Chain A
């Protein structure tokens, strides 16, 4: 039941955002569509959040979004500087970054936030959650990513205990 709500509530919100009217008929149709799709539920292993931890979860999630946004802007500016430099100062390579997370969701979120920032891109992930990351500038990225990853990991573990 709680898994059904976890899948159908985001679908319901997306439906309302796309249709953009809040009449009761539309609400009913949206709820029916969302529940109907969630009945076709794939074998997903979703992580659940206990209700009394919800405020802490939301607070950590908001901080996580801002941390990732900061990383993305930093990566974008440094990539722009590399591209616009006439000498094209590339130092590319693949480095191994341990995600430090046991759960699959934590590893997936770490890989997502690393790939989102231009300048780093996850090429492969092995069974123990080590992310092989392609970087434009190996030395700079290795230093930066290690500390960014520990900060993000801290927030992720706060979100999912």
Chain B
């Protein structure tokens, strides 16, 4: 067997997925109710940095820069944020079945957003409410083990279940109290996720948090490998387990909370994408993290484009991620079963 074959596979996978990402981007920018040819799309993008004769008219340019590009940026940021935080959670909790929702970040964010909606908050207030709700849920979930003076992973998982359960009930109360005419619909729509209302200011608001936390996670990704061996073994290899785990959970939570705050909750992404990445390049997180970022972006761009074009009214994203993600996850598990 070739000695460095895994490295070669990784490089090939990285280049292939990056090329796919490029074509998916061009496809997403060209597709929609107003169709633009691929060539024009590329020309329009390049016209901002190079002198190219305008042959496409102002409408195409407006559609791309004002409508489709902000959504594309949103899809890239949010897709990769879910994917990398899913990969981090799956490593820290030593369990490939874990998603970023494990410690209640999504249900907490929903409570925050729903509260903002029934108190008549505008878009910014809803975003802030969602972000804070997500963080508070995870703080609660990580406080329970401290109260019980037990540091085990199992107790942390159970705390997550407690907090998620509590948050779901609170969401139920809020929905029950909400005005069914508009507020209830807004909460339900928010819970199913959408990129339809994303504009550039939203992107500017979340990108610093997403950039900083992603960079930290990518920087410590080899150490995260060691955490998967178990606390004892990691500590005896000189790893400060408590600190590293805290850093990873904080960063992954901030990532999910930022993404959820502008898109609403989007299911499946954080669970499925790291699986696919591991299937392609193996479990080493130095490779899984970069591939997950690219795959998360590709997946959400495709799903969001489908949401725009499949029906006259926009489909909520979780419907599509579930319809695609569930069978896809089954296929992944079937493949891994064969390899076991």
Q: Do A and B bind each other?
A: no
